[in-house]
Amino acid sequence: MPKRARGALSLLVGVALVATVAAACGTTSENAGGGPAEPKPCGGAGGKYTIGVSQANVAEPYRERMDADIRQAAAGVPQFTVNFADAQQDNSKQVEQVENFLTQKIDLLIISPNEATPLTSVVKKAYEQGVPVLVLDRKVNGDSFTSFIGADNFDIGRKAGEFVAQTLLPGGGRVAEIKGLSGSSPAKERSDGFKLGIGGRNIEIVASADGDWLRDRGRQQADALLKGTPGIQVVYAHNDPMGEGAYLAAQDAGLSGIKIVGIDGLPIEAGGIKAVEAGRLAATFVYPTGGKEAVEAARKILVDCQQVPKVQGLPIERVTPENAAEVYARLNAGS
Amino acid sequence: MIAWLFRFQSLFGLVLVFVAAVVFSPVRDGELLFLDSGNLFNVVRAMSEIGILAVGMTFVILVGGIDLSVGSVLGLASVGAAVLLVRQDFGVLPAVLVVLAAGLVFGLLQGVVTAKLGIQAFIVTLAGMQIARALARIWSGGQGVEIAYGDAPGRAPMAFSLLGERTFNGLVPIPALIFAVVAGLAALLLRVTAFSRHVYAIGGNEKAARLSGVPVNRVKILVFGLCGLLAALAGIVHAGQLNYGGPNDGSMAELDAIAAVVIGGAGLSGGRGTVVGTVAGALLVGVLRNILTLNNVDSNVQLLIIGLVIVAAAGLQRLRPAAVG
């Protein structure tokens, strides 16, 4: 390595470094003193409204269903045009897409954030420009949004834990946990909630692994857990597809007595409710998408010129073989 | 002239796409939405992280290598910056230095394994990709690290938040500025130094370069180090923009970076490519994505179109006259 080259390289390193820090220091804060949103005057029933939907990742069945729910509900409101964007599980891409929506001057933003913190500032920006923002499923930080609509991941984990403790293993027992994608907030919350739910009942989580929310990863991990850890009675999967994977692994290992509990309970053919009905899952818990409720809130804000509550918690429902058919029919009513 | 056209194909591509974007721009209140200055800077801001990665990737590809680890290193660096600032109470400068050093060392190590042990870069950095991702998840404790600002312990210094801000009357995003500085310096490094001659020589014919006294291993190791360093810089920018250290962030970013380099006219066999081409390649993808989104083109169709652009760019290079290297 010649001296000059080394010099140039260290120059590059040095200047890049200085640029990062120095550029950051000599600027004025753009959002300083941004007050609460000055809402645009409400257009009422005579107006036409464009709604931007920023979805974290359409590749997940749950979020695909959320978009479908929004699409279907919005079809019933003639004033609405809905544009969808898919961030493909990428925080940066989602920020970019919300900025594009703002460039398009949408009338209302519906966003299901990939993660809370990274999306907070762009949501705040939209809100401060007077665009009503409905946040679905995952909250952003602070209170710079119009309304949050969603269920609670910690709570749904707790309910799953209580079900295991009270119904499946009343005398205590051994549980394996197939977790969602490591580093994602619902995986952590569904895990923490579950631990609270089974607390003090002599139930032990004897093994756990990351299934990345995917059916095939869930199966692969369950394969190993069931072979490596004897005496597992219940598998708790952070979502239904991983639960289905665990079911396949249990069948494969000849362990048909193992009970599997999933989460999400999507009311679709390939969803968890049908799996419960068919006996592959012992139970699942409906984590509602909030799509219908979001369009309803949008209608209230834009067409009816009304206020909506800041937080709209959605109920979690337990699905067991007894009520599976009924829940499925009810959630698909009107579609 | 023809040679120049091929050499900077992405620059012309960028101009073409830009003109098309103006033509197809939606109009609102008599204004072209695409040409709105806020929108144009959004495009550059959105591409700045990928752009910084792509600049580093250009060097690696020039020596005939590839670095699949940059996306994971971006995630690792964002986690590192967040953890150091928030949980370890580091100042901005020490935190940035430590993270940059970590990226540099990570890259250098990959370079050492590649050059000294003679394992293909694809394999070494494929392993590096997994390792960096694992380190990011372990370091973060399995959860995204939120960066809150303030003077109290457990909060990051305000200065760091400026990475998410804009300068020059709130117009120019800081990340775009950093991208510009990095690209400028890299272009300079690839034009005027002996280092640059070595890089192109190795990519053109490694054996010949070795025989003619080019310190091949050392240059390769440095190139991987530079790529790791820039990936860490991109991760710092990422953390500052999003106020968040994301253990899963940056996945697939390596592919976006490689795409930018290829659209920029580089060949994966090495020896061919420029920083200017890469920067234009990155911006081309950014403008394309922007105009498609502004026209509400379905995201899957967008992926399709960008895929076709990559194929077209590579195809154009096949047509390139052999003599103009």
pLDDT tens-digit readout, A203-215: 999 999 999 888 9
Separation of first and last alpha carbons in chain B: 13
pLDDT above 50 for A24 = no
Lowest average pLDDT, out of A193-202, A239-248, A269-278, B157-166, goes to B157-166
- Give the pLDDT of residue B42: 87
pLDDT above 90 for A32 = no
- Give the pLDDT of residue B141: 86
More confident residue, B178 or B9: B178
Across residues A89-107, what is the average pLDDT?
93
Percent of chain A with pLDDT over 90: 70
Separation of first and last alpha carbons in chain A: 69
B172-182: pLDDT as tens digits = 999 999 999 99
Is the CB of B295 inside 8 Å of chain A's CB atoms? no
- Give the pLDDT of residue B323: 46
Instruction: Quote the minimal CA–CA distance from B13 to chain A in Å.
Output: 22
Give the Cα-Cα-Cα angle B185, B191, B196 (nearest 5 degrees): 95
- Give the pLDDT of residue B28: 83
Instruction: Determine whether the interchain pair B137/A182 forms a contact, defined as Cβ–Cβ distance below 8 Å.
Output: yes
Residue labelled with tokens 């003109």: B19
Instruction: Determine whether the interchain pair A24/B174 forms a contact, defined as Cβ–Cβ distance below 8 Å.
Output: yes
Instruction: Determine whether the interchain pair B185/A20 forms a contact, defined as Cβ–Cβ distance below 8 Å.
Output: no
Burial class, B310, CB count within 10 angstroms (exposed 0-12 / middle 13-18 / buried 19+): middle
Query: What element of type H or E holds A3?
Result: helix A3-25
- Give the pLDDT of residue A27: 41
A8-21: pLDDT as tens digits = 555 455 554 454 44
Nearest CB to A24 within list B136, B159, B290: B159
What is the DSSP pairing of strand B244-245 with strand B145-146? antiparallel
Q: Which of A232, A166, A160, A244 is nearest to A195 (CA)?
A: A160
A1-11: pLDDT as tens digits = 444 445 555 54
- Give the pLDDT of residue B314: 87
- Give the pLDDT of residue A16: 47
CB < 8 Å to B246, chain A: 91, 115, 118, 183
Across residues B168-190, what is the average pLDDT?
93
Burial class, B297, CB count within 10 angstroms (exposed 0-12 / middle 13-18 / buried 19+): middle
Nearest CB to B185 within list A16, A26, A185: A16
Query: What element of type H or E holds A299?
Result: helix A291-302
Is the CB of B133 inside 8 Å of chain A's CB atoms? no
Lowest average pLDDT, out of A23-32, A106-115, B279-288, goes to A23-32
Instruction: Determine whether the interchain pair B46/A58 forms a contact, defined as Cβ–Cβ distance below 8 Å.
Output: no
CB contacts < 8 A (A, B): 190
Is the CB of B279 inside 8 Å of chain A's CB atoms? no
CB < 8 Å to A181, chain B: 248
pLDDT above 70 for A64 = yes
Q: Which of A126, A85, A89, A131 is nearest to A108 (CA)?
A: A131
- Give the pLDDT of residue A97: 94
Instruction: Determine whether the interchain pair A1/B248 forms a contact, defined as Cβ–Cβ distance below 8 Å.
Output: no
Can you give the three-state secondary structure of A97-152, one letter per residue? HHHHHHHCCCCEEEEECCCHHHHHHHHHHHHHCCCCEEEECCCCCCCCCCEEEECC
* Range with top average pLDDT, A140-144, A254-258, B95-99, B268-272: B95-99
Instruction: Quote the minimal CA–CA distance from A20 to chain B in Å.
Output: 6
- Give the pLDDT of residue A23: 46
Residue A298 pLDDT grade (very low, low, confident, very high; cuts 50, 70, 90): very high
Instruction: Determine whether the interchain pair A21/B159 forms a contact, defined as Cβ–Cβ distance below 8 Å.
Output: yes
Across residues A70-76, what is the average pLDDT?
95
Instruction: Determine whether the interchain pair A92/B136 forms a contact, defined as Cβ–Cβ distance below 8 Å.
Output: no
Across residues B135-161, what is the average pLDDT?
89
Residue type, A260: I
Instruction: Determine whether the interchain pair A21/B38 forms a contact, defined as Cβ–Cβ distance below 8 Å.
Output: no
In terms of CA atoms, which chain B residue is nearest residue A31?
A: B165
Instruction: Quote the minimal CA–CA distance from A178 to chain B in Å.
Output: 15
CB < 8 Å to A121, chain B: 164, 242-243
CA quadruple B74, A90, A238, A223: dihedral positive or negative? Answer: negative
Residue type, B240: G
Nearest CB to B178 within list A19, A89, A105: A19
Instruction: Quote the minimal CA–CA distance from A170 to chain B in Å.
Output: 31
pTM of the model: 0.83
- Give the pLDDT of residue B322: 58
- Give the pLDDT of residue B75: 96
Percent of chain A with pLDDT over 70: 87
What is the DSSP pairing of strand A203-210 with strand A173-179? parallel
- Give the pLDDT of residue B192: 86
Give helix then strand counts, H and E, for chain B. Answer: 14, 6
pLDDT above 80 for A187 = yes
Across residues A114-125, what is the average pLDDT?
92
In terms of CA atoms, which chain B residue is nearest residue A28?
A: B167
**Among A83, A91, A141, A144, the residue to mutate for chain B (most B Cβ within 10 A):** A91
Query: What element of type H or E holds A234?
Result: strand A234-237
Nearest CB to A24 within list B42, B162, B195: B162
Within the 151-180 window of chain B, which residues sit less than 8 Å (CB to CB) from chain A? 159-167, 170, 174, 177-178
Nearest CB to B174 within list A27, A103, A116: A27
Q: Are A175 and A206 in contact (CB under 8 A)?
A: yes
Q: State how far the Cα of A226 lies from the Cα of A207, in Å rounded to an integer.
A: 9
- Mark residue B169 as left, alpha or beta (left: phi above 0; alpha: psi -120 to 50; beta: remaining): left
Residues with Cβ within 8 Å of residue A105, at least 6 apart in sequence: A50, B28, B33
pLDDT above 60 for B159 = yes
Instruction: Determine whether the interchain pair B165/A141 forms a contact, defined as Cβ–Cβ distance below 8 Å.
Output: no
Is the CB of B182 inside 8 Å of chain A's CB atoms? yes
Token pair for residue A303?
A: 């067409």
- Give the pLDDT of residue A44: 85
- Mark residue A89 as left, alpha or beta (left: phi above 0; alpha: psi -120 to 50; beta: remaining): left
What is the DSSP pairing of strand B172-173 with strand B166-167? antiparallel
**Among B249, B254, B295, the residue to mutate for chain A (most A Cβ within 10 A):** B249
Residue A39 pLDDT grade (very low, low, confident, very high; cuts 50, 70, 90): low
- Give the pLDDT of residue A28: 39
Q: State how far the Cα of B118 lies from the Cα of A200, in Å rounded to an integer.
A: 56
pLDDT above 70 for A172 = yes
Nearest CB to B290 within list A100, A119, A182: A100
pLDDT above 90 for A77 = yes
Across residues B118-144, what is the average pLDDT?
94
Within the 27-86 window of chain B, which residues sit less than 8 Å (CB to CB) from chain A? 28, 33, 36, 38-39, 42, 45-46, 49
Is the CB of B248 inside 8 Å of chain A's CB atoms? yes
